[in-house]
Chains A and B, each alone.
Chain A
Amino acid sequence: MKFEEILDELENISATLERGDLPLEEGIALYNRGLELSKEAIEILKDGKGKITLLSDELGKLADTAFEVNDND
């Protein structure tokens, strides 16, 4: 899942819960889903720390290779 999608879903969950017209079981299920999502959101942030890569087109699929930016001047 992407950052943006997670935030959107969390936003939906909180809006649904805030309306307060849910059966208890569904409310609890949504709460748990929210908890999982927020964990996931923080996990994503931690992994794959800021790569910079050069895309190359192999067999019609884009592949990443390590890339260095000339940062001298």
Chain B
Amino acid sequence: MFNKALSVEELNHYIHSIFDAEEMLHGITVFGEVSGFKISGPHAYFTLKGANAAVSCNLFQYRKTYVPKDGDSILVKGSPDYYEKTGKLSFNVLSVQPVGVGQLHVELEKLKAKLLAEGIFDEAHKVAVPRFPKDVCVITSKTGAVIRDIYRTTRNVNQGINLHVYNVRVQGEGAENEIAGALRKSDGAFDVIIVARGGGSFEDLAPFNTEKVARAIYDCVTPVISAVGHETDFSLSDLAADARAATPTAAAHMIAYNEEEYIAAVFSLMSRIALASEKILHAEEDRFSGVVKSFIAGGGRLLDKNESRLRLSMHAIESAGKMFCTKKESVLEKLLLRYAGCNPLNILQKGYMSLSKDGKKVVSIGELYVGDEVTIRAKDGMAKALIKELKNEI
């Protein structure tokens, strides 16, 4: 304790010497947020703020180190200094290192490596986005340009797709929980899910770079398209998704299909089915008539032995064969008529004609008599005809 009264100089000098002597405070690192950054000549000055505290900082020869800006989180290395002339304490900064963005990038890379090792981004796990989706869930903010862009782009080519908007916050604290929750809820209920947000800063896109969202996407059974940010932004959600769209508009292009394309695809499959069915019918007929013929030929060689009996059974077989084939033909005809009803693959276009008598389809010669008036319908019209002769043959 000093017994005499001190001059201000003596007091400040003493305080200064205490700070000077305290080795613990030399060359220390402090973190905080920059505020009031200003440059004066070769030096810079700012305040480093914590949550409930602040300290003035002097950055002499600021060009020698990283130059921060207001709002940046930084690490400063240096020592506190008590300035005797003004009686103020400040921190003399020797070097500045950014945290925040820099640190976040590092953490993101670590997370990415971890998820990659776990197989969250494996191509083998990805499923194809359906070519013709009907119900699409869009997880995004219900306000804003993203949903409007997706809506417009889709409707430009397709009027039939149902868009279901799942409203979530796409940035800020806790947004990742909303997005992951929406993914879990909508999984299995739609043909495809789009998670989308527009462009933004690295921090804005942060929810899409979280483990929660990446895993929720991975867990989805329904195909997921990730459309986050702009062309150049690549997020963990993009990597985990079944497909990545560079922008929300690009995602809409991926799901919107032309309806005529769809109809054409259905009809082309239908025509394949019809052709294959006809072939099966013809093959069956050929096989059967082949069997009958060889039976008759084989029977001919045995004629002498048991002539009358054989003749009888041959007749029976022959007529049974004819009946079989007639039955087959009527089945074929029915099929062809149904097929004809299935536009635009009209069977009449192929050159088949259909026959009717008194407004009723004629499917066998047995239904006709000499002198009957019949109607023949072809692809380009119809004709009336008279039956002149009947022959009961295959």
Contact = CB atoms under 8 A, between A and B. Distances in A.
B120 interface: no
Interface stretch (B96-104, B145-153, B347-355, B356-364): B145-153
A7 B151 CA distance: 26
Contact of B185 (A17, A18, A28, A62): A62
Contacts of B137: 55
A53 B272 contact: no
B273 interface: yes
Interface string A14-38: 1001101010100110110011001
Interface of B, secondary structure class, is helix
Contacts of B158: 50
Interface of A: 2-4, 6-7, 10-11, 13-14, 17-18, 20, 22, 24, 27-28, 30-31, 34-35, 38, 41-42, 44-45, 48-55, 57, 62, 64, 67, 69-71
Majority DSSP secondary structure for residues of A touching B: helix
B273 A14 contact: yes
Interface stretch (B43-51, B125-133, B209-217): B125-133
A67 B133 CA distance: 20
Interface in B257-306: 259, 262-263, 265-267, 269-270, 272-274, 276-277, 279-281, 283-284
Interface stretch (B163-171, B238-246, B307-315): B163-171
Given A31-B335, A53-B165, A71-B152, A38 B267 contact: yes
Contacts of B166: 55, 62
Given A7-B265, A28-B335, A71-B148, A45 B165 contact: no
A55 B165 contact: yes
Interface string B115-135: 000000000000000111110
A48 B165 contact: no
Given A4-B191, A69-B148, A10 B132 contact: no
Contacts of A18: 272, 276
25 contacts: A3-B134, A4-B133, A7-B265, A7-B269, A14-B272, A17-B272, A18-B272, A18-B276, A20-B280, A20-B283, A22-B280, A24-B280, A28-B331, A31-B273, A35-B339, A38-B266, A38-B269, A41-B266, A42-B263, A45-B262, A50-B155, A50-B158, A50-B160, A54-B142, A55-B167
B132 A57 contact: no
Given A31-B335, A69-B151, A3 B191 contact: yes
B189 interface: yes
A45 B162 CA distance: 11
B161 interface: yes
Contacts of B147: 69
